[in-house]
């Protein structure tokens, strides 16, 4: 089926011509289909959907979805097993009666050493730099994947405050694109980009609770749109659906579950009131301010870490450990509320909200934000789950204010903090509301208000002063230089939804001139 995937090489150029001319193929900056405008691109997309090569590409997406989603399940299962092994079983095996309060210190020091060694010495620098923001663009070469895997394993297993989604995207995309590179070298980069995106879809198919939500995340992050949205998106959706089935099947077969983000017990939500809309405005603004400070600190720390990778990664790991210990000693709650991404802690936070005092919640938010910032600057992982947890904890804290129910505050906090860190408004609304379950539609208007306010405020706060040099820690724009360990050929391949040549429509590998 590799040949079928590659067969799309001739399917999406300009009809009757090559993809490198002035029509719909990759040009030098002109609008797609210069002679026919959008209608030409739409006709091109329709022709692609009807082609035999495209059907073969869909078959290849099915073949990719099975092993990549199984590998993603194995990665999540491994990290889930290592966490209790390191923080519960290991101290008991060493003769301690339970986990000592100081235990996070040596564990995060070890995690810092392992992560720094992967970033410093292995190809690929351990994966995407978290302070650059969430990105669905580019694929890593096969040689970089061991470093991505090991750096993520050290980060996630030893307690740093980052999530698994970024490593899964890198591993899934790298395995998919690397496989087709080995089987069919010399194809257009956009072919590898679409195949890599398909692997990424499969890898995160069930992580966020729904294969559709994972697909929507990648679609919005990659900027997919226009007539070519369908042809580029459908293989990924297919791989995502297949991947979700694999997650469910393996979770049932092994008894380990699906490792999907979910809230098992959600209180009943009431219809929104005028007061709640006012609080949603405030929550959106507060989330933008917190995220701006968090990113500012992480980027400043990163500048120092890059010059002294090993000692400062260990030091920042110790900072995370110290914050977790301070929270545990000050609140009587477990240090794991601060450690890790927060994916499995959000459910208990909501269902046991009555057991958290105002002081405990305030301490939790402060410690989690600082630990999140320190982890972003030096470790390797994704930003989604910690952002959701910080927003959820802040929402529970604000639910003590008059006129703001718990579920509404919880959902608006998640949505507002998510968009402040990810800059993906539609995905943030869906994340916050789908997690609430059947009452998600009830709180959706509040979430939308909080997300829009947070999104606009974040854009204003992130705008550099006139004439200022760009922040080196800021997220790279289109055309940014690829990182080390990128797939051979052109560094990081363009995203499946990126717009090569400033406006040309993406295809599945067509039109090689």
Lowest mean pLDDT among 149-153, 253-257, 328-332, 427-431: 253-257
| Fold for the domain defined by 274-462 | Clc chloride channel (1.10.3080)
How many whole angstroms separate alpha carbon 325 and alpha carbon 105?
9
Q: What is the b/e burial string over 386-421, where b = at least 16 CB atoms within 10 angstroms of the residue's CB? A: bbbbbbbbbbbbbbeeeebbbbbbbbbbbbbbbbbb
Domain ranges of the chain: 53-158+165-206+210-254, 274-462
How many whole angstroms separate alpha carbon 425 and alpha carbon 430?
9
Q: How crowded is residue 254: how many other Cβ atoms within 10 Å of its Cβ?
A: 11
Residue 208 has pLDDT above 50, yes or no: yes
Residue 511 has pLDDT above 90, yes or no: no
User: What is the pLDDT, as a whole number, of residue 38?
Assistant: 56
pLDDT tier, 460 (very low <50, low <70, confident <90, very high otherwise): very high
User: What is the pLDDT, as a whole number, of residue 225?
Assistant: 65
Give the tens place of pLDDT for each residue, 484-508.
444 443 334 433 334 333 333 344 4
CA dihedral (476, 480, 484, 487) positive or negative: positive
How many whole angstroms separate alpha carbon 141 and alpha carbon 490?
11
* pTM, to two decimals: 0.81
- Among 70-79, 199-208, 470-479, top mean pLDDT goes to 70-79
CA nearest 506: which of 193, 78, 88, 51? 193
Inter-residue contact 503 to 31 (CB < 8 Å):
yes
255 or 369: whose pLDDT is higher?
369
Inter-residue contact 196 to 173 (CB < 8 Å):
yes
Give the tens place of pLDDT for each residue, 29-74.
444 444 445 566 677 777 777 778 778 777 877 787 888 988 999 9
CA nearest 426: which of 213, 257, 258, 283? 213
Q: What is the b/e burial string over 81-97, where b = at least 16 CB atoms within 10 angstroms of the residue's CB? A: ebbeebbeeebeeeeee
| Percent of the chain as helix, strand, coil, to the nearest 5 | 65, 0, 35
How many whole angstroms separate alpha carbon 13 and alpha carbon 228?
12
């Amino acid at each position: 089926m590799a040949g079928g995937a590659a067969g799309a090489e001739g399917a999406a150029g300009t009809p009757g011509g090559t993809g490198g001319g002035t029509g719909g193929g990759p040009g030098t900056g002109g609008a797609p289909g210069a002679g026919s405008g959008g209608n030409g691109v739409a006709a091109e997309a329709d022709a692609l959907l009807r082609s035999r090569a495209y059907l073969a590409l869909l078959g290849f997406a099915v073949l990719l979805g099975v092993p990549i989603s199984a590998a993603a399940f194995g990665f999540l299962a491994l990290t889930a097993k290592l966490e209790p092994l390191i923080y519960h079983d290991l101290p008991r095996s060493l003769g301690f009666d339970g986990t000592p309060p100081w235990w996070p210190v040596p564990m995060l020091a070890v995690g810092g050493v392992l992560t720094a060694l992967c970033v410093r010495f292995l190809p690929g620098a351990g994966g995407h730099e978290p302070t650059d923001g969430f990105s669905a663009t580019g694929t890593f070469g096969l040689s970089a994947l061991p470093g991505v895997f090991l750096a993520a394993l050290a980060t996630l297993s030893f307690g740093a405050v980052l999530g698994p989604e970024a490593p899964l995207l890198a591993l899934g995309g790298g395995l998919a694109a690397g496989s087709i590179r080995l089987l069919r070298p010399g194809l257009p980069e956009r072919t590898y980009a679409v195949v890599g995106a398909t692997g990424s879809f499969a890898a995160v198919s069930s992580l966020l609770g729904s294969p559709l939500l994972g697909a929507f995340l990648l679609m919005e992050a990659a900027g997919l749109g226009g007539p070519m949205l369908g042809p580029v998106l459908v293989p990924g959706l297919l791989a995502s659906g297949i991947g979700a089935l694999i997650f469910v099947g393996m979770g049932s077969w092994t008894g380990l579950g699906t490792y999907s983000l979910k809230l098992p017990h959600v209180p009943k939500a009431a219809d929104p009131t005028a007061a709640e809309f006012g609080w949603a405005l405030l929550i959106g603004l507060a989330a933008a301010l917190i995220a701006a400070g968090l990113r500012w600190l992480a980027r400043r720390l990163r500048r120092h870490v890059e010059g002294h990778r090993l000692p400062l990664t260990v030091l920042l790991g110790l900072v995370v450990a110290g914050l977790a210990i301070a929270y545990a000693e000050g609140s009587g709650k477990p240090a794991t509320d601060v450690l890790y991404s927060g994916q499995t802690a959000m459910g208990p936070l909501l269902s046991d909200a009555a057991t958290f005092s105002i002081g405990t919640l305030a301490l939790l938010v402060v410690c989690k934000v600082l630990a999140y910032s320190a982890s972003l600057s030096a470790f390797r992982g994704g930003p989604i789950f910690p952002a959701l947890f910080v927003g959820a904890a802040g929402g529970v804290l604000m639910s003590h204010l008059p006129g703001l129910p718990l579920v509404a505050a919880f959902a608006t906090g998640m949505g507002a903090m998510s968009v402040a860190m990810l800059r993906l408004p539609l995905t943030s609304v869906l994340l916050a509301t789908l997690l609430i379950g059947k009452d998600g539609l009830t709180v959706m208007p509040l979430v939308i208000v909080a997300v829009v306010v947070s999104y606009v405020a974040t854009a204003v706060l992130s705008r550099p002063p006139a004439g200022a040099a760009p922040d080196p820690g800021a997220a790279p724009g289109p055309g940014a230089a690829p990182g080390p360990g990128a797939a051979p050929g052109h560094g990081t391949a363009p995203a499946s939804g990126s717009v090569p040549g400033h406006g040309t429509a993406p295809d599945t590998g067509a039109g090689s001139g």
